[in-house]
Structure 1
Amino acid sequence: MQGKKFLLVGMLYALSYFGWAQSPLTGIIAGTVRATSGETLPGIHVRLDSLTNVTVTDADGRFRFNNLAPGTYVLTGSGVGFATNQQTVPVRAGETSACTLVLNEAVQTVDEVAVVGQVTSQEVRKRAFAVEAIDALALQNRNVDMNRLLDRTMGVQVRETGGMGSDFTYSIQGLSGKAVKFFIDGIPMESFGSSYRINNVPINLVDRIDVYKGVVPVELAGDALGGAVNLITRRDVGSYLDATYSFGSFGTHRGALSGRWRQAKTGFTTNAQLFYNASKNNYPVWGPTIEIAGPDGRPLPDVGRLRRFNDDYQSANARLEAGFTNVRWADRLLLALTVTDLERGIQTGRTMAFVYGEVRYRERLVMPSLTFAKNDFFIKGLNVDAFASLNSLQGTTVDTSSRKYNWRGEVIANNVRGELGGIRAQRSLYTFNDRTALAGLNVTYQPADGHRFTLNALHNQTRRTGSDALAIADWTIPFRLPQQLGKQIVGLSYEQERLAGRLTNTIFMKYYRYAAQANAYDYNGGAQRELLVNRQQQAVWGFGLASTYQLHARTRLKLSAESATRLPDALELLGDGNTILNAPGLRPEQSLNANAGVQHRIGRASHTWNIATGLFFRHTNNLIWLGEADLFGTARYENLNRIQTLGLETEVQYRYRNWLRLTANATYQDIRNKLRYTAAGAPNHVFNDRLRNTPYLLANAEISLTKADLFWKGALASCYLGTHYVPAYFLGWPSLGARATKRVIPTQFVQDVGAEFTTPNRRYVLGVDCRNLLNQRIYDNYLLQKPGRFLSVKVRYFLSQTKSSHVK
C-alpha cells in the first residue's frame, strides 16, 4: 500500500504551497486580558479572526500576534467561567496595536465556556436537548483518538474489539450499536466506509464535538435512536497549515496534514486533508481463551503471553475541497473528492477462540460530494444548508490459505480449505460493491425573534452486488446477487422562546420510510432449496418535544422526550459475506426516549463547581442486536422485544483559576428484558433479566494541571491523569445457567497519563501519553483482549497567515 508515500508527497507539496514569505509590511497586536475586577487572567484562549490563529495568555494575562497584514481584525477571548467577549482592533504596517480585552464572569449559564467556533460550546449546552459539547481545541495537542476521548464522556461507552482499526460500538445511556449515529458537520457518516470512521478522524481537524443523548434534533438528518455524535470541523477564514505526527507502542504511527488557502478578494477557497494510520497491533495477549493444544490434543495449562501476529492495520484518507466561502451569494459552496484506502489482517472471529494467520481485508472508497450553505437566503432569517454525494465502496475479504495456525503463529495443519472454516470449508475471495447516493437539505426560518422553524430531509439509497472468484457453495448465493436498501427521513420542528429567553420549547415530528431487498437461500416449505427474495417496505411517524428553563442565574432545567424509529442499515440487513450473515427479516427498532436534567454552577471566577445530573428512560421494541457467535465464529443481527432502561448520570467539574481542573462522572443504567411471553405464548425465562453483555455502571475521573511560562516566557505546559472503571458483567442472561459456569466480562479499571508542551509562538507542540499505565488485561467484549500499556509521542507544527477581513 502506498499510504506512507502518499502522505509524504502531500506534506512536501503543502509545505511548498504554504511556505510563502510573509510581507515585511506587517503589524502587531499586543494586549492583556482582564476580569471586570481588574485581575489579569492567565490561560485564556484568544482568537484572531480565524479559528486557527489562537494563542493563550501567559501568567500575567498577556498575549501577542505578530506579522499581521494591515487591516481590521476581531479578537475573541474566552475561558472557563467567563463569558465570551469580542473586540475590533485595527492594524497598521510597522506599528503595534495595544488593547485590553475584558471578560465578564459567566453568571448567566451553568455551562463551561469554550473557545468560539461556528457556535460556542456554551450555546450548544444551553439547548433543550440532553447534549454534551466537547471543546476539541483544548485537546488538540493530546495524542488521543476520538474513541478514547468520547469513552470518558458522561453516559457514553465505547466498546472496541482490539487495537487500532478494530471494530467498535458506541453506547449512549444504554442504547448501543447502530442506534447511535455519527455525523460530520451534520452529514451522516454511515456510508463513508471503514476507513473514514469517527475514530480515524484526527482531532486537529475538529473544533467541537456535540454528543446528543436520547432525543436528537431534526437538523441531524438521520434515524438515530439512542443518540448522535456530530463532529464540527474547523472553518477557518485565514490560510493555514497544520501537521501532526505520532508514533507509539506496537508499531503504531499516525500522521495528519490539513491546510487551507483562501483568496480574500474572490473568496476562492481550497481545503486539503490527509491522514494516515498504521499499526502492527502485535500486542501481547494472555488469559483463558489463548489456548494451544499439546501432543495429546488437550490445551496446555500455561502458555504465557503471546503476541497477535495477523492484526496489522493501515488506512490512508485524502479529501480535497475547492469552491467559494464567505462571498455575497454563498457562505459556502464547495466541491469535494474523498478517497480512502484500507488494508488489515483479520486475527480472530467473534471471539478469541478462533485465530487466523492469513485472512485479510481490503477496502477502497471514492466519493465526490457537493455542499452549499447560505444564511439569509433571498429573505432575512432564511438559512439553507444542502449536501449531496455519490460513493463507490469496494471491500474484499481474502481467505485463500491452506494452512491453519495456533496462537504461537505456528502452522498446525496444511490441508484446510480457507481458515474461516466451518460451513465455509472452502477458499474464498469475496468482494462486495456498494453504490450509495446520499442527499440532504436543512432549512431554518426565523420570522421573528423567539420563533424558529426547521425542515430537514435526507435520502439514502444503497445497492450492493457481490462476487467470489473461488467460492461456489450454496450459502454464498445471497451475497453474490444484488441487494438494496433505501431510506427517506423528513423532520420538521418549531422552537419558541418565552420569558425573555429563560424558557425555550421545541416540538418536532419525523417521518421515516425504508424499502429493502435482501436474499436468502433456504427451503420454502418444500424439499428443494431455492433462492428467496425478501422485500420489505415500511413507513413510520415519530414525535417529540424538548424544553429548557433557566430557573435562576446559576441553575438550568431540561426535559426532552420522543417516540423514535431506527431503520436497519446495510451491514445489519445485508451482512458482510463473512463473519456477519445477512438478516432478511430484520425489522426497524422503535423506542420511547425521555431525559430530564439539571445543571448548576457554584462559585466565582477563582473557584468554580459545575454539577450536572440527569435521569433517562428508554422503552425499546425490536431492538436490533448482534446475536451470539455460532460454532463457526459467525453471527447475524436479530430483534429483541421490550427492552426497558432506567438510568441516572451525574458529573462534577471543579476549576481553580486556569491551572487546575478536576472532572468526575458516573452513569448507572438498569437495562432489563420486559417481554413476559415469547411469540409462542410460553413464559419468557429471561423476563426482567438485565440485558446480557451490557455493563450497568460506568465511571470516569480526570485531573489536569496547566502551567504558563514554563522554561520560556509565553510557553504553556500541561499534564493529566485519568481513570476509567467498569465493574464485571455477564455475557449471557443472568438467570440462565449456574453462576460458577457463567461467562463474565471482568472488571475494567484503567489509568491514562500524559503531558504536553507548547512553545511561546504556539507553532510547535510536543506531547507524551501513556494509556493503560498499569498494563491491565482489559476487555470491552467477551475475551477479545485490548492492548496493554501503550506509550506514544506526538509532535505538531502549525503555521498560519491571517489576512485582513471585514467585520460583520
Structure 2
Amino acid sequence: MNHLLYKTFLFLSFLSVGCATEMYAVIQQPSKGMITGRVIDSQSEPYYPVAVSIEGLLMGGYTNEKGNFRINDIPVGDHTLVVSGLGVKTKKVPVKIVAGKLIDLGDIEIDTHVEQLDEIQVLGKSEARRQQEQAYAISVLDIKKAYSGAAPLNKLLNNVSSVRIREEGGVGSNYNFSLNGFSGNQVKFFLDGIPMDNFGSSFNMANIPANMAERVEVYKGVLPVNLGADALGGAVNIVSRKDANYLDATYSFGSFNTHKVTLNGAYTDLKTGFTVRANAFYNYSDNDYKVFVPVIDLTTNKKVDERWVKRFNDAYRSGGLRLETGITNKPFADYLLAGVIFSKNDKDVQTGATMDAVYGGVKMKSESLIPSVRYKKDDLLLDGLSLSLYGTYNTVNTFNVDTLTHRYNWLGEYVPSATAGEAYLTDAEIRNREWLANGNVSYVVNAHQSFILNHVFSSMKRRMNDDAHPDDEMNNVPQRLVKNVTGLGWQIRYDRWNANVFGKMYKLHSSTYKRLDEYTETARWEKVKDDKTNFGYGAAATYYILPSLQAKLSYEYAYRLPESVEMFGDGLIQQRNPDLKPESSRNVNFGLSYMQLVNVHQLSAEANFIYRHTKDFILKGVSLTSNPTTGYENLGNVLTKGVELGFRYGYKDLFHMGANFTYQDIIDNQEFEINKGSFVGEGITENITYKERLPNIPYLFANGDMGLRFHNILRRNSVLTLDYNLGYIHQYYLSFPGLGAKSSKKVIPEQFSHDLALGYSMDNGKYGIVVECTNLTDRKLYDNYRLQKPGRAFNVKLRYFFNKK
C-alpha cells in the first residue's frame, strides 16, 4: 500500500509540475496560438485518420477516432490549414492565429469521393501505420486486407517477423505462440486491451475469426504502460472492428470435413449513440488426416512397422459469441459498454505430449461465460485528462475424461486393459473463477508531454473434482492466484523524436498445495502460501533520422508472474509445479524501419536486433515415456541474442510481395547449479548444459508471401486475387544438442510449406469466394515434439459483406 501511495504522490506531483510548465510556456510565449476542430465527411460522420497540417510549417498531426484534431504552438498571423489523406480531396482552410488563444474551427467537411489519387499532396496514415511508428518495437498487422482470405487469425501472424505459431495438429489443436525466443505464457494476449489469460481454451487465437479484428498489434519486448501486463517477451493485442453499421458473414468448408461459420456485425444510432456489436463463430472438423507413425502389435507390444494411417479420435467443435451494447459519443462517455462472451468446445484427444501415445476415448471439454463492462472518457473534467475502466468476471469450466479400459494402436485396434484409463484415469471438472479489473488514467500536459497511470488486478480461484477418484483429498480444495500490476509512465514527444520512461510494480499471492515425502509412509499434501513483490522499469525512444527512416531503441527490466496452469496443471497432460518462481528479464531492442512511397511504388523494410538476459526462465519440458506428460520448470539463466529482417513492396493495387527472416540464439547460460534438499545431496555442481542451445525452440525460420490483384474481371467493381505463402523452418533438436549420441537424438526436420489461394469478389467486396490449398506439396510438417500437422488440404470460403454508410 505504501508503494502505491508513493507512486500516486509522484503522479500528482508530475501533473502539478506539468501544469505549471504549460502555464509558464503560455506566459513566456505570447507570440503563439492554437487551433482545434473536427473533420467530417458528407454524412456528417467523423473521419479518421486524416492528416491536418499548417502549410509551409513542419507542424500538424492526425484526427482521432472522433475526427478531432488540435495543433499547438503556431506562430501568430495568417496561415492555411491543409486537410489531406488517401482517398480524400485536399482541402485548404484559411486561419488567423491570435497570440495565446485557442481558435475552434468547428466542423470541416471533406470530399471522400476521389478517384484521382495523384492530386493528393500528403498521404493520410492508417491506424495500423500510426501504431507502427510508436517508440516501442511493434509490428502491426492490418487484418482488413485479409477479410476475404481463408487463413485464420493465428496463422496470419506467421507473416510477422520473429513470430512463429507452432501447432500440435489440425483444427482446435493446442498451439504455442513464439515471439523473440519467448513463448507460451511469456507472451500475453489481449482483446481490445483486456487480458485473455483465463478466457478458456474455447475462446483463443485459434478460434477467433480474422473478420472480427481490425488489426493486430505485436509488441516485441517493451509494452506500453496502458496494457498493464506482466509479459516478459512481448504481447499481442487484437483490436476489434469499430465499423458503425455493418454485417460480415462467412462460411468455409474443406478437407477432413472441416466447416467454419463466422458472423460479425454492428449497429449504431448516430443520433442517440446507442450501439450493439456482435461477433459469433462455429468451427467443426473430423481432423481425420493421415499421419506417418509407428504401428504397435498390441499382443506382443512390439513395433511392426511405420506407415500412413488416419487419425480416428481427433474430432473438434467449438462455438462462441461476443456481444456488447451500450452508448457511445456522449458528453459523459466516449463509450459505456456492457458485454458478455460465451464460448464452448468439445475436443477428442488423439495423442499425448508425443505421438508415442495413442488414445481412442480421451475427451476434453471447456465452457466459458465472461460478463464485462468497459468505459472511456477523454477530456474528463479538463482538457487532456482521460479515464478508461474495464472489469470482467471469468467463469471457465474444463472437463477431462479418460475412463476407458482399452489400449489402442494407430490402426484403431484395441485390447482390454487391466486398469481403467488409457493414460491417467480421470473424470474431472476444473472450475476457474476470476475477477479482473483495470483502471487507466492519462493526462496530456501539452503537445510535448503526457503521463499515464495504470493498475491491473486479477484474482483467480480454482477447484477440481475428480469423480474417478472420489476419495482424493484434493477434491474441491480451493487454490488461489492473485496478481496486482501497477505502472506509471511519462512520454515526451517532438517533431522527429519521442520517448517513454516507465516503472512497474508486480505483486503475486499464491495459495496451493504441495505433495511432500512422495513414495514414503509419510506422503501427504501440505498447504503452501507465497507472496512476492518485484519492481521493474524501462524506457523506449524513437527518432526519425530522415522522414522515411526511423530508429527505435528500448530497454526494460521486466517480470513475468507464473500462470495458474503452470502452477496447478491442467488435470490431464500438464503436470503441476507449485514451486515455480517469477521469471525476470533484461530486454534490449534496437531497430531501424524504412518506408518510401514513390509514385505508384511502395517500399518498406525493417531490421531489429534483440538481446534478452533472463533469470528463472520458465521452460516447458516433456517426459519421453509411453504416456508422456509436460511440465514447467525454472531454468536459472538464459541468454538470447537475435536479429530479424523484413521487407515489403507494392505496385499500385496490383502486386505485393514481402518476406521476413528470424534468427535467435537461445542458450542455457547457467554455469553452476546449487542443489538444495536433493536426494543426491546438496552443494554446487557444474551445469552440463551450460552454453547449450535450448531444446524444442526453432532458432532459424522465415516466411514469404506474394500476391496479384486484377480489377474489373468479367464485371465492374470486381477483384480477382492470387496469393502465395512460403514458410521455412530450419531443423532443431528436441533435447539439448550436446547430450547423448548424435545417432540417438530426435530432431524436428527442416521444413518448407507452401500455401496458395485464389479469390474473386464482386460489387466492391459485397460478395466473395476464395479457394485455398494449404501444404501444397503435401510435406510432412512438424512443430512441438514432432506432432504431425495436416497434409495437403483444400478449403472454400464464401463471404457476404454489407456496410451502411
Q: TM-score range by the shorter chain?
A: 0.7 to 0.9
The correspondence for 2:673, drawn from 645, 670, 678, is 678
The correspondence for 1:191, drawn from 180, 191, 198, is 198
Q: CA deviation at 1:659?
A: 0.9
TM-score, reference length from structure 1: 0.84
Question: Hey, what's the Cα distance between the residues in 2 that align with 1:386 and 1:28?
Answer: 29
Q: Deviations over 1:371-406 (max 9, x none)?
A: 111111121111111110112111111112112211
**Structure 1 residue aligned with 2:790:** 787
Question: Hey, what's the Cα distance between the residues in 1 that align with 2:120 and 2:691?
Answer: 49
The correspondence for 1:139, drawn from 139, 143, 146, is 146
Q: CA deviation at 1:608?
A: 3.2
Question: Hey, what's the Cα distance between the residues in 1 that align with 2:362 and 2:345?
Answer: 14
**Structure 2 residue aligned with 1:207:** 214
The answer on 1:300 being equivalent to 2:310 is no
**Structure 2 residue aligned with 1:504:** 498
**Structure 2 residue aligned with 1:20:** none
Structure 1 pair 106–154 and aligned structure 2 pair: CA distance change class (3 A): farther
The answer on 1:465 being equivalent to 2:473 is no
Contact 1:145/1:202, CA 8 A, preserved across alignment: yes
Q: CA deviation at 1:100?
A: 5.8
Contact 1:716/1:760, CA 8 A, preserved across alignment: no
Structure 1 pair 83–610 and aligned structure 2 pair: CA distance change class (3 A): farther
Contact 2:484/2:507, CA 8 A, preserved across alignment: yes
Question: Hey, what's the Cα distance between the residues in 1 that align with 2:222 and 2:671?
Answer: 27
The answer on 1:291 being equivalent to 2:295 is yes
The correspondence for 1:320, drawn from 303, 323, 348, is 323
**Structure 1 residue aligned with 2:283:** 277
TM-score, reference length from structure 2: 0.84
Amino acid at match of 1:448: N
SS of 2:672's partner is: coil
Structure 1 pair 284–221 and aligned structure 2 pair: CA distance change class (3 A): same
Question: Hey, what's the Cα distance between the residues in 2 that align with 1:145 and 1:621?
Answer: 35
The correspondence for 1:149, drawn from 138, 153, 156, is 156
Q: Deviations over 1:310-359 (max 9, x none)?
A: 11111111122221012222111111121111111011111110011011
**Structure 2 residue aligned with 1:481:** 477
What pairs up with 1:51-70 in 2 under 5 angstroms?
A: none
Q: CA deviation at 1:366?
A: 1.1
**Structure 1 residue aligned with 2:646:** 651
The correspondence for 1:592, drawn from 586, 590, 600, is 586
Q: CA deviation at 1:440?
A: 0.5
Q: CA deviation at 1:799?
A: 1.7
The correspondence for 1:542, drawn from 516, 536, 557, is 536
Q: CA deviation at 1:267?
A: 1.1
Question: Hey, what's the Cα distance between the residues in 2 that align with 1:477 and 1:85?
Answer: 74
Q: Deviations over 1:570-602 (max 9, x none)?
A: 100111111112111010010010100111235
Contact 1:187/1:221, CA 8 A, preserved across alignment: no
Structure 1 pair 106–296 and aligned structure 2 pair: CA distance change class (3 A): farther
Question: Hey, what's the Cα distance between the residues in 2 that align with 1:100 and 1:746?
Answer: 51
Question: Hey, what's the Cα distance between the residues in 2 that align with 1:387 and 1:154?
Answer: 31
Q: Number of residue pairs matched?
A: 710
Structure 1 pair 156–662 and aligned structure 2 pair: CA distance change class (3 A): same
**Structure 2 residue aligned with 1:232:** 239
Q: CA deviation at 1:412?
A: 2.4
Contact 1:478/1:521, CA 8 A, preserved across alignment: no
**Structure 1 residue aligned with 2:99:** none
Q: CA deviation at 1:214?
A: 1.0
The answer on 1:395 being equivalent to 2:398 is yes
SS of 1:212's partner is: strand
**Structure 1 residue aligned with 2:707:** 704
Amino acid at match of 2:500: T
**Structure 2 residue aligned with 1:7:** none
Contact 1:85/1:102, CA 8 A, preserved across alignment: no
Contact 1:489/1:511, CA 8 A, preserved across alignment: yes
**Bigger relative CO (Cα 8 Å, ≥ 6 apart):** 1
The correspondence for 1:668, drawn from 663, 668, 675, is 663
**Structure 2 residue aligned with 1:262:** 268
SS of 1:581's partner is: coil
Contact 1:477/1:521, CA 8 A, preserved across alignment: no
The answer on 1:575 being equivalent to 2:579 is no
Contact 1:339/1:365, CA 8 A, preserved across alignment: yes
Q: CA deviation at 1:658?
A: 2.1
Amino acid at match of 1:363: S
Contact 2:89/2:114, CA 8 A, preserved across alignment: no
Q: Deviations over 1:592-639 (max 9, x none)?
A: 101001112356122333221111000111111122225332232110
Question: Hey, what's the Cα distance between the residues in 2 that align with 1:777 and 1:97?
Answer: 50
Structure 1 pair 126–83 and aligned structure 2 pair: CA distance change class (3 A): farther
Contact 1:436/1:463, CA 8 A, preserved across alignment: yes
What pairs up with 1:339-488 in 2 under 5 angstroms?
A: 339-420=342-423, 424=424, 427-472=425-470, 477-478=473-474, 480-488=476-484
The answer on 1:244 being equivalent to 2:271 is no
**Structure 2 residue aligned with 1:40:** none
Question: Hey, what's the Cα distance between the residues in 2 that align with 1:600 and 1:788?
Answer: 38
Amino acid at match of 1:451: Q
Q: Deviations over 1:696-730 (max 9, x none)?
A: 10111111111111111111121111101011111
SS of 1:640's partner is: strand
Amino acid at match of 1:464: R
Amino acid at match of 1:264: L
SS of 1:134's partner is: strand
**Structure 1 residue aligned with 2:98:** none
SS of 1:282's partner is: coil
The answer on 1:78 being equivalent to 2:86 is yes
SS of 1:123's partner is: helix
The answer for unaligned runs of 5 or more in structure 1 is 1-25, 30-46, 52-74, 803-808
SS of 1:178's partner is: helix
The correspondence for 2:551, drawn from 554, 557, 565, is 557
SS of 2:706's partner is: strand
Structure 1 pair 105–701 and aligned structure 2 pair: CA distance change class (3 A): farther
SS of 1:222's partner is: coil
**Structure 2 residue aligned with 1:124:** 131
Q: CA deviation at 1:441?
A: 1.1
Question: Hey, what's the Cα distance between the residues in 2 that align with 1:524 and 1:145?
Answer: 45
Structure 1 pair 217–382 and aligned structure 2 pair: CA distance change class (3 A): same
**Structure 1 residue aligned with 2:600:** 606
Structure 1 pair 730–128 and aligned structure 2 pair: CA distance change class (3 A): same
Contact 1:83/1:103, CA 8 A, preserved across alignment: no
Amino acid at match of 2:350: Q
Q: Deviations over 1:192-217 (max 9, x none)?
A: 10011022111111111100001111
Structure 1 pair 161–458 and aligned structure 2 pair: CA distance change class (3 A): same
SS of 2:667's partner is: strand
**Structure 1 residue aligned with 2:800:** 797
411-420 or 331-340: which moved more? 411-420
Question: Hey, what's the Cα distance between the residues in 2 that align with 1:690 and 1:524?
Answer: 33
* RMSD, matched Cα: 2.8
Q: Percent sequence identity over matched residues? A: 34
Q: CA deviation at 1:235?
A: 1.4
Q: CA deviation at 1:168?
A: 1.1
The answer for unaligned runs of 5 or more in structure 2 is 1-41, 46-62, 68-82, 94-106, 675-682
Contact 1:624/1:637, CA 8 A, preserved across alignment: yes
Q: CA deviation at 1:263?
A: 2.2
Question: Hey, what's the Cα distance between the residues in 2 that align with 1:709 and 1:440?
Answer: 49
